[in-house]
Structure 1
Amino acid sequence: MTSRASRFWRSIFVIARRDYSAILFSRSFIFFLLGPLFPIVVIAMAGGIGASVSGQLQNPKLGIAMQAEDVDAFVAARDKLARTVPDTPEVVVVLRLKPGENVMTRSLLDRVKDGSPIVAILSGPLSNPKLTGAGGQIDRWEGPVTLIAAEAMRGDTTALPAVNMERTITAKADTARKRIRTAQASQTLLFLLTMLLAGMVMSNMVEEKANKIIEVLAAAVPMDAVFYGKLIAMLGVSLTGLAVWGVFLSPIAIVGAGLPTFAAPAVGWPLFLLFGLIYFSFAYLLLGSLFLTIGGLAATVREVQTLSMPATMLQLIVFFFASYALGAQGEPIEWVAIVFPLSSPYIMLARSAVDGALWPHFLAIVWQAFCVALIIKGGSTLFRKTVMKSGPAPAKRSILDRIRGKREPA
């Protein structure tokens, strides 16, 4: 049993090394590395334009709900100091209160913030203003609001009023919200990489079928080993490509608007990046094993091209399902996404960003490895029974032919 298992793993290693070397040292690998540059450029251009438009339309603004004379004085002081005071907020007059009239700033902010760029409300008298809004935003505005209020009261900044701060989002809730963004970004990146790289498996299998290479391999080693070897080789090529891209793109991402813009995941960046590598590998192996089976059953490259659209739709459905499950944490839909093999890597990577528990990841990794082995076993068996045949099955003779055969002399 031990020698048989040893031969099996040696066969996998031989197939994987052969395919990996053949692809890595070919001219197609150069085009493989250059291919993602075009969608990256398009995405960067679209993202830059979208960010510019979004920044113009959704620039955070400060709403004012004060006495009418205080509103006029504050707006005039703000316009006067806008060019000299850094981070001066843009203001929008929400309410002009009558003498003796009060307002509940929290409820007012809840009414105006949906679909509005107003993220905070300034209320109260100028001598003791109250700033209500999200903690990170009003902390940045505290200094400018103090200077503007002082200018509005006396025409100078010798006496600064005390600004009362009322944070509508706690630090814990704010951190959780930012971690959700990190989780969503990780899911999107995992989806893009998997969709970009996993499709190579189908075409590779069809090419070797057309060249009769697969028949030579199947005659020398078990079909399971051929599937494992090819899948591991393609994963190795993909990881090599990711390493090359990472060397060139990581400095740009870190220095520019990269990692510093995302909240630290619950498990920490080192472990999160490790989980990202592990879950990318399993997402690739799970989807690649299905594609390998499909490519093995396809007879021509045209059939592969026909099947590529349903395969892409499958990836989109899995991605949308995992994204929806991220917004339903703790509900049955999340556990369905964890158990379903194709969506499990996506939801577990996102879970590592919002939840620091480690034991679910060990169970998920074992489950995903089992599913990969199960799909490869089923795919290789199906390939062996439907494709690898020595010849057409003999036709059944009719009863009349059998009778005539018996009457013929030997």
Structure 2
Amino acid sequence: MSPLRRPIRQTLTIARRDFKATVFTPIFLLFLFAPVLMASFGAIGGMGAASVSQGSTDKVRLVAMLPIATAPALHGADAQLRGLFGTDASPPVLALRPPAADPQRAARAALTARDADVTAILYGSLDRPVIAYGAGGRQDARYLAAVARQAALFERAGSIPPAARLERVVTDAPSRSGRDAAAFFAVFGIFFLTLFLSGQVVGTMAEERNNKVIEILAAAVPLESVFLGKLLGMYGVAVLFVTFWAVVLSQVEMLLPGDMGGALEQLRPAIGVVPFALLFATYFTTAFLLLGSVFLGVGAQASTMREVQMLSLPITIVQVAMFGLASSAVSHPGSWLATAATIFPLSSPFAMAGRAAADTALWPHAAALAWQLLWVAIFITVGARLFRRGVLQSGNAKPAWRRLLARR
């Protein structure tokens, strides 16, 4: 067997062993459906908060104490201006009441009433409106002022102009905002996947250190092959996880509302959908291998699961820091921050994935991938040597360069 083929076969054997030991267990099903559990808890909490918010929103009112003759102009202005807001940010319902003998006193009484939550009241006339509002009702008062101004214009014109017809135009070229949004979601997508998946690499050595299996592996296989094999085995688990949920989400996309589907169509990367998908998968691979190799080397120093759990917080902090650095780089292309995020190995996959969505150049990706794979090899080599000397208490104490000089 050739000198190169033997370590490759040993590495793949370790990877296959770890992959089967992880996937062919009942616990893997819980891990595979963990997003469903997380989404279920989030949906339950969101439904509870939405029901409470909906119950309080139904009682909120805007009141206009004006003559009945102003109702057509007032409701027409309210309908036109309300269309500028989304469903969640829509102002409260506008109710029209007849004017009182003392409108100022009636407005104060309505603002302090207990049966309905009135945030702002319009009285006087459309030409000279007066708006009273309570605590937290300043924004609603401004909306009422805009409605009164628009209604006064309608009364002077003598009619309410028809609403404009909206026509949606589909363009092939990606817009600047669409490229920026795609770049951010690319960074966030890799961050979320690596945060959820690469942290599993930390505890792969702890159990085998306790039952002494790692000593048997180290005696039969070079530690570099053990580290790389374990990293590739966990990467196979990550690929299985991502593939499963990619297929599920591709079917769910057909059930999205038309507006949401149209909004997703605007997230077009500048480099093209197919090249971007390939680069995204490649940068996810390098990000997983980079962070996984660092976490594997650090986690190999832990001897108990308690120490592994203590390492979870610094690992999460590192991942969040890389996400923040890459997000800032995407927001400021061409700056020194973007250059630093591209060169620093742990943040390079995040930043380059965002660059693939915002820039059409291809040659920087070839250089970045070579640079990242080089650091994967460095991290695996350093982690294996630290494990050999610090945990197994073996290996030559002299540095490699001194051993090379001694041989010469």
- After TM superposition, the score normalised by the length of structure 1 is 0.67
C-alpha distance in structure 2 between counterparts of 1:335 and 1:89, whole Å? 40
Count of residue correspondences: 320
* Aligned-pair CA distance for 1:81: 7.8
Q: Helix, strand or coil: the match of 1:329?
A: coil
Output the amino acid matched with 1:227: F
C-alpha distance in 2 between matches for 1:261 and 1:78: 33
Query: Per the alignment, do residues 194 and 51 of structure 1 end up closer, same or farther by CA in structure 2, a change over 3 Å counting?
Result: farther
Aligned counterpart in structure 2 of residue 386 of structure 1, from 365, 387, 390: 390
Are 2:352 and 2:368, in contact at CA under 8 Å, matched by a contact in 1?
yes
The separation in 2 between residues aligned to 1:152 and 1:271, in whole angstroms, is: 58
Q: Could you tell me how far apart the structure 2 residues matched to 1:48 and 1:370 are? A: 48
Name 1:229's counterpart in structure 2.
Answer: 229
What SS does the aligned partner of 1:197 have? helix
The alignment status of 1:34 with 2:33, answered yes or no, reads: yes
* Corresponding residue SS for 2:2: helix
Determine if contact 1:150/1:161 at 8 Å carries over to the other structure: no
Per the alignment, residue 133 of structure 1 pairs with none
- Please name the residue that 2:76 is paired with: 80
> Any idea what SS the aligned residue of 1:341 has?
coil
The two structures, once aligned, show a CA RMSD in angstroms of 4.2
Match of 1:261 in 2: 263
List gaps (5 residues or longer) in structure 2: 58-69, 92-126, 128-138, 166-170, 398-408
Q: Distance in 2 between matches of 1:216 and 1:297?
A: 17
Give the SS at the match of 1:18. helix
Relative to structure 1, is the Cα distance of residues 174 and 36 closer, same or farther in structure 2, using a 3 angstrom cutoff?
A: closer
Structure 1 gap ranges (5+): 58-73, 93-97, 99-114, 127-148, 164-170, 394-410
Offset, 1:39: 2.5
Residue number in structure 1 paired with 2:191? 191
Say if 1:270 and 1:150 are closer, same or farther in 2 by CA, change over 3 A. farther
- Partner of 1:4, secondary structure, is coil
CA distance in 1, matches of 2:261, 2:179: 12
Partner of 1:361 in structure 2?
365
Q: Counterpart of 1:3 in 2: which secondary structure? A: coil
| Maintained 8 Å contact 1:198/1:287 | yes
State the identity %: 38
Q: Which residue of 294, 307, 311 maps to 1:307?
A: 311
Q: What is the CA–CA distance in structure 1 between the aligned matches of 2:237 and 2:315, rounded to whole Å?
A: 21
Post-superposition offset of 1:384: 1.1
Relative to structure 1, the CA distance from residue 153 to residue 282 in structure 2 (aligned partners, 3 Å threshold; closer, same or farther) is same
* Counterpart contact for 1:77–1:152, Cα < 8 Å: no
Give the C-alpha shift of residue 44 in structure 1: 5.5
Q: Which amino acid aligns with 2:199?
A: G
Distance 1:151 1:214 in 2: 85
Partners of 2:299 and 2:311 within 8 A in 1:
no
1:15 is aligned with what amino acid? I
Partner Cα separation in structure 2 for residue 309 and residue 267 of structure 1? 36
The answer on whether the counterparts of 2:388 and 2:394 sit within 8 Å (CA) in structure 1 is no
**Alignment partners' CA distance in 2, 1:75 and 1:182:** 46
1:18 equivalent to 2:22? Answer no
Deviations 1:347-406 (A, max 9, x none): 111111111111111111111111101100111111111112369x9xxxxxxxxxxxxx
Whether the 8 Å CA contact 2:174–2:270 is kept in 1: the answer is no
Alignment of 1:4-403 (within 5 A): 4-43=3-42, 77=73, 79-80=75-76, 88-89=83-84, 153=157, 155=159, 175-256=175-256, 260-262=262-264, 263-389=267-393
- Equivalent residue of 1:271, what SS? helix
State the shift of 1:189 in Å. 2.1
Aligned AA for 2:75?
Answer: D
Is the partner of 1:36 in helix, strand or coil? helix
Post-superposition Cα deviations, 1:161-200, rounded to whole Å, max 9, x if no partner, equal 999xxxxxxx999921232122222222221111111111
Q: TM-score, normalised by structure 2?
A: 0.67
CA distance in 1, matches of 2:295, 2:49: 35
Shift of 1:261: 2.1
